[in-house]
Amino acid sequence: MSERRPPLQRPKARLPFEEKPFGGAVQRGALFLYSVLTVGLSGVALYMALVVGHPLTSGFVAGPAIGALWFALRLFMIWGSRR
């Protein structure tokens, strides 16, 4: 005897959720965080170079300056991706 197969069930339709559940809040938060880090690290590099008197090639100046450049690049990339 052949067995009876249950009828195939249709997949349930997806509910209409947003792709980004937080909207632009995460992107705005990243913009704020990267801009604060860029300004802060730039300030640290300038302070170490001008007030403390470390040479520009010192790690105390070059490290924060490179970090500020990196965060500025990330900030530029986020601003460029906004539509």
**Residue 59: is its pLDDT beyond 80?**
yes
For 56-80, what is the mean pLDDT?
94
Its pTM stands at 0.70
68/63 Cα distance (integer angstroms): 9
Tokens of 49: 């170079």
pLDDT exceeds 80 at position 9: no
Ranges of each domain in the chain: 27-81
Burial code (b: 16+ CB inside 10 Å, e: under 16) for 32-49 equals eebeebbeebbebbeebb
30 vs 55, higher pLDDT: 55
Give the tens place of pLDDT for each residue, 25-52.
Answer: 878 888 999 999 999 999 999 999 999 9
Q: How confident is the model at residue 19 (pLDDT cuts 50, 70, 90)?
A: low
